[in-house]
Amino acid sequence: MEREIRRNQNNLIILGTGVLAFAVWTVVRSLIQYMLQSTEIKNLVSGMVAEDQVNWVMTVIVIIIVVTLAVDLILRMIVGFSARAEGKGKKKRLGYLVAAVILIVVHVLNISQYIMLVMADTEQILECIIGAIIEVTSVITLLQLIIASVRFKKLTAQKSQ
């Protein structure tokens, strides 16, 4: 039983680190995508609104992107740091598991978005496949984290009885 507890603790530390790495990757990827597509977005916006409102709409878009990235980063940091702390024996809260489930739902929605993009536009197949693989990897990491946490909690509860 002690070996199983230590294995789950190590898994929580490793998987928590993986979630933190995905957090950094998501922010970097999103910023690069925005920088590469900002002129396309501005051209699209300028075709939809009056010329004097383009800067205002672009500012709103940037604010929405920043807030979305901040929420995503905060959720991932909560999950990653909490899993690492639990693996080190410091915390034993369940709130980060709820955040992990929320992230899984977001990843599943992103995967479905990639599938729809592949079906709609054949020019972006490679980018969509790579994005979907990254999303699936993140889902697997989060699922393993949840499983390791539940096992760890059950084993420590059995040990204390």
Q: What range does the domain containing 53 cover?
A: 2-160
pLDDT computed for residue 159 by the predictor:
80
User: By C-alpha distance, which of 86, 91, 105, 90 is closest to 145?
Assistant: 86
Task: Count how many domains the chain has.
Answer: 1
Residues near 111 by Cβ (< 8 Å), separated by ≥ 6? 132, 135, 136, 139
Report how far residue 149's alpha carbon sits from residue 97's, in angstroms, rounded to the nearest whole number: 8
Model pTM above 0.75: yes
Residuewise pLDDT in 10s, the chain (161 residues): 889 989 999 999 999 999 999 999 888 888 888 888 777 777 777 777 777 777 788 888 889 989 999 999 999 999 999 999 999 988 777 889 999 999 999 999 999 988 888 888 767 788 888 888 999 999 999 999 999 999 998 988 888 77
Report how far residue 8's alpha carbon sits from residue 142's, in angstroms, rounded to the nearest whole number: 14
- For 23, counting Cβ atoms within 10 Å of its Cβ (0-12 exposed, 13-18 middle, 19+ buried), the class is buried
